[in-house]
Amino acid sequence: MKIQFAPLSVPLERRLQTLGVVQWVFSFLALAQCCLAVFILLLLTDYWYISAIYIGWLFLDRETPIKGGRRSVRIRKWMVWKYFTDYFPITLVKTAELDPKHNYLFGFHPHGVLVAGAFGNFCTEATGFSRLFPGLTTYLLMLPFWFKLPFFREYIMCGGLVSSDKHSANYILSQKSGGQVAVIVVGGAPEALDAHPGALTLQVLGRKGFIKLALKTG
Residues linked to residue 163 through DSSP beta bridges, in sequence order: 142
Summarize pLDDT for 160-202 with one digit per residue, the tens. 999 999 899 999 999 999 999 999 998 887 777 787 788 788 8
DSSP H or E run through 60: helix 48-60
DSSP H or E run through 183: strand 180-185
**Which residues of the chain fall below pLDDT 50?**
none
Strand order in the sheet with 137-142: 104-108, 180-185, 137-142, 161-163
Q: Are 168 and 213 in contact (CB under 8 A)?
A: no
Residues linked to residue 180 through DSSP beta bridges, in sequence order: 137
* Alpha carbon separation from 46 to 49, 54, 120 (Å, rounded): 8, 15, 40
pTM: 0.91
Q: Are 200 and 109 in contact (CB under 8 A)?
A: no
Residue 6: predicted pLDDT: 76
Residue 102: predicted pLDDT: 96
